[in-house]
Amino acid sequence: MGTGPDRPRVERTAVTIEVSWACYDRSGAAFQRPRVFYFLARTPDGWRITTSAVLAD
């Protein structure tokens, strides 16, 4: 499995995910496109987000 913006990096106990959203105003124009990086860790109770960061364009 490759990695990149559209493919998460997966390990047995950790995963990294990069997500992009688009926020639109009432006229349909995009006014914000936030990108967020998440690091998740597998715990005995399940997956938990341990770190998140908003990425600069």
Residue 38 is classified by DSSP as E
Type of residue at 15: V
Question: What's the pLDDT tens digit per position in 1-52?
Answer: 444 555 566 778 899 999 988 889 999 998 888 899 999 999 999 999 999 9
Q: How far is CA 39 from CA 4, 27, 28, 29, 46, in A?
A: 14, 35, 32, 31, 14
pLDDT at residue 2, rounded to an integer:
46
What pairs with residue 47 in β-bridges?
42
